[in-house]
A and B are shown apart, each in its own frame.
Chain A
Amino acid sequence: MIYAWFAFMILLSGALVAWFLRHPLKDYGFDLQKSNIALGRQKKLELQNDLKLGLIDADLGQQAQDDIAKTLAQELTQSQVRVRENRPVPIWLAAVLAIFIGVFSLLIYQALTPKFTVKIPTKTTQLSLEESAVKLQNYLAEQPENAAAWQILGLKYFELNQLEASLNAYEKAYQLSPKNPKLLVEYASSLAIKNNNDFHGRPIELVKQALMLEPDAPDALYMAGLYAVSEQEFKLAELLWRKALARLKSGSIEHKILLDVLAELSELTNKTDKSVQTVEHLAAGGNSIKVMVDFSDEILSSRAQDFLMIYAKAAVGRPMPLAIVKIRLKDFTGQIILDNSNSLLPNNTLSQAGEVLIVARLSSTGAAFRQAGDIQITSAAVRVKDNPTVNLELK
């Protein structure tokens, strides 16, 4: 159906081009020389008006008129009158152009269309995840041998956070198609999440199978890297992730994520004792605020990679942070200390403030402004001079 529409659009375009080729638009019949002559005359009339209004000295009027004539003469010398052919274009050229439009546009479309198969919705109202899962189940009741459908069902259940149902669907898909690397990685991922991100046992076996089938599969390499980190095999993890990185398109989201992960790995391996940093903070002088933040288990498990931003802002006045700490949630030890060393501007430090509000924000992007999906909590106002401790909860 879609290609019928494309054909109609191409035919319409081709027909219009052919029509305009056979029936050229009306030419107004004047060329550049005639246009410049006419404008030269108009400029002379405007000069007369300027003289009448006193916008040019009467003595200089003749000189201005000579300037106009001189300019026109130069313009006429520069421009050439070209004899134009007005013969209609042969019909075969019109046909070639129409074909060109069709072939060229379809080639571009083929080149730019995403590689995955898109399920085009037939209704304007979209199905919910639950509805999609039910439809897939109904379909699989009739076509139980369709491994791809089981795999999609596994993913749907995974998104619905129904891990048991997801694993069952993946297992069925695996039984039907055990040599699909993408399926193996998805299955391993669901299993690991079910086991609190533990890749030991079946998950890593599935990842290994995927790598045997496709040694350069980036998602399998990524998973293997995570396993290596859990085993304190940082060098191996770096090797695997760098290999995956080489396979990913530069600028893609996956590429960026992997770069971030590698940077964190590098930090992890070079990390100094955090307690030393804490002592340094305290030594920075001035007042400080101890901030303790509690997270629900769900947040800790599902958003470990998100950025946690904890900052103090004036209770009254501009909302610019006076002191801020930004770390990944997985690196958060439960408390941080805000002091002058975390201030953004030397002349606007935490110690200079009276009452402040403490804000804790969890953000997937780490952007300065609050984004959709961020969660945030703000404390009651506290006095900086009291060196208070603030307890916050993000659930």
Chain B
Amino acid sequence: MLPEIGHFALILALVFAILQVVLPSVGLLRANFALAQLSKPLLWMQFFWILVAFAILMNAFIIDDFSVKYVANNSNTQLPSIFKISAVWGAHEGSLLLWALILALWSVAVSVFSKRLPSEVLHHILIILGLISIGFLLFLLLTSNPFERLEIIPIQGRELNPLLQDFGLIIHPPMLYMGYVGMAIPFAFVLSSLIRGQLDSTWLRWSRPWTLVAWAFLTFGITLGSWWAYYELGWGGWWFWDPVENASFMPWLVATALAHSLSVSEKRNAFKHWTVLLAISGFSLSLLGTFLVRSGILTSVHSFASDPARGLFILIFLVLVIGGSLGLYAWRSGRWSSSNKFALLSRESGLLLNNILLIAAMLSVFLGTLYPLLLDSLGLGKISVGSPYFDAVFIPIMIPAALALAIAPFLRWKQDSTKRIGVLLRKIWGLILLLFIAALFLTDNIWVLLAVFLFIWILTHSLWLFWQRLRQKSGINLGFIGMILAHIGIAVFLLGATVTTQFGVEKDIKMSLNETKIIKGYNFVFNGVERFSFENYQGFKGNIEVFFADEKITTLTPEKRQYSTGMPMTEAAIDPSLYRDLYVALGEPLGAGAWSIRLYYKPLIRLIWLGGLLITLGALFAAFDRRYRLKISASEL
């Protein structure tokens, strides 16, 4: 009976989403506050019923209710309890339900924490969010019902994809979805402004903290995904330029540009048109990512669904959202005042340059991701676009962006001079030069030298700026600290990504019993493989001791698992540290006790995720800056 209640709760959520759009709209049109104010309670009820549905689905997994098709397809009695919970969003229907829940959660957060927004503006925003919610709830109910029952109940359920039976899956999708769906908030803010025909300070001021929080979640979600892929897929890679990864990276690039563009629009009344288009693009790319992942166009671990009906639904939704919002923009854009003026060398120009480079980078990823799909769908042949393309196109765009991000915070608003900047920064440029010359003695790898230079460049500028502000006392606030952290995060990421790519060592080798292989001074001794079994899998566990300068560092035990349903999995063993990771994965048995083994030495790889965490932290600091928490008191009005 519970699944039927869950299904009905979803239907009630849809009914409330419809009412959330209709009643406040009538209220706003007829200036009837009693009807308009319903946007909040109707949203809360929508959230409540989605939460009920979600809890019921989770309960179905916990009690092994295989009469529910989704549970039977993605769980079994042997699945450890923790993965029964994460299995709720381990496949298509459940992840869509999680998506709807997170959208409702974001909306509730906006309704509760936007006390400084005029109620009329808030009602408009909640109406837009209600419209998006209708789209997702209809998608769930019409094509992806997670409560569908089976006519004949199986004795045992199927297996959750072993790749997804991991701590990473418990947190990666919810965090990524928080970011994806969070982009709906700036989108709703901008659409409400377009509908009202007023792109004013209120919209610009109050949409920025929401954008920053969404950006923080998106950053954290992508960082987690990269970390998960590294240790779970057994290839030792941290980014594959996989179309699904790109689908999350594109909105991240746009959200980064939007967070910067909003600050200029808000403070200096410039880039308004640009900001509007970025907010629309950010959410549109999030939807595009959903379309790519859910339509079955892509084949990867992320492609849960391959149902054309689902793809068609999302495509129509995408066309409506993008077409509708751009149409509204075209209709309303003529009403806004022109931007305030600024000189070629100014902070506004610096931020504009940052935006242009980020969007150029996004377009390069967009082209590399969609062009092969387009060719394939038109029957013009299959082409593969991988890291050679992205490295050749993306990196040259990001180098000037990295250079500019260190300088731009020193520039003055409206106008600055090269002379002033030269005088201000000549000391640290001297220091950077000295540090870089020292680095020349360490390596002759051009890419590593470039990365080291950019690392020193950004870090030195950021710390110098921080020191300057510290001396001025009144210049330190959460927004400023957030910016410094995020910029240092970029520098740390750049260094980690480049060094691990250039100096990482990868060996695919055959190892016999007691054989030793040496990589970068580390001796890997293969002590053989033993059989083992666990709750829902069994397999082989290797034993590899690692020595450095005759001292034992660690024993690594990579696994090759066979799940009870027959699905195989490679579980890498990693010895992590901030300076390097030692990574071992078992391949195939080659007879006479020998195995094929992958050994990796990954210098500074942890910096990649440390950089991501610093950017996340920076975005959160900026989102909670004092200026976004100032109360507008009645006396001030």
Q: Which residues of A contact B (CB under 8 A)?
A: 1-2, 5-6, 9-10, 13, 16-17, 20-21, 24-25, 27-32, 34-43, 46, 49-50, 52-57, 60, 63-64, 67-68, 70-72, 74-75, 78-79, 82-89, 97, 101, 104-105, 108-109, 112-114, 116, 118, 120-121, 124, 126-129, 132, 155-156, 159, 251, 315-319, 355, 357, 367-376, 378, 380-381
Contacts and interface: CB of A to CB of B under 8 A. Distances in A.
B201 interface: yes
B109 interface: no
Nearest to A20: B41
A81 B156 CA distance: 64
Given A28-B115, A116-B151, A16 B202 contact: no
A20 B149 CA distance: 36
B14 interface: yes
Interface string B53-67: 000000000011111
A105 B53 CA distance: 15
A120 B415 contact: no
Contacts of A315: 510, 588, 590, 596
A155 B153 CA distance: 13
Interface in B236-276: 267-269
Interface in B500-526: 508-510
B69 to A, nearest CB: 10
A129 B567 contact: no
A64 B590 contact: no
A75 to B, nearest CB: 4
Interface stretch (B27-35, B165-173, B614-622): B27-35
Interface residues of B, number: 95
Contacts of A101: 12, 15-16, 19
B418 interface: no
A219 to B, nearest CB: 15
A32 to B, nearest CB: 5
B269 A67 contact: yes
A13 B52 CA distance: 13
B33 A105 contact: no
B352 interface: no
B244 to A, nearest CB: 14
Contact of B11 (A68, A108, A121, A132): A108
A140 B145 CA distance: 34
Nearest to B420: A57
Contacts of B16: 13, 101
Contacts of A28: 115, 118-119
A376 B335 CA distance: 66
A32 B123 CA distance: 12
Given A52-B472, A79-B200, 8 more contacts: A1-B1, A25-B40, A32-B120, A52-B474, A64-B414, A86-B33, A251-B308, A373-B566
Contacts of A57: 412, 414-416
Nearest to A131: B155
Interface string B467-509: 0010010110000000000000000000000000000000011
B434 interface: no
A316 B596 contact: yes
Given A2-B1, A251-B308, A67 B627 contact: no
Nearest to A79: B198
B31 A84 contact: yes
Interface string B412-435: 111110000000000000000000
B45 interface: yes
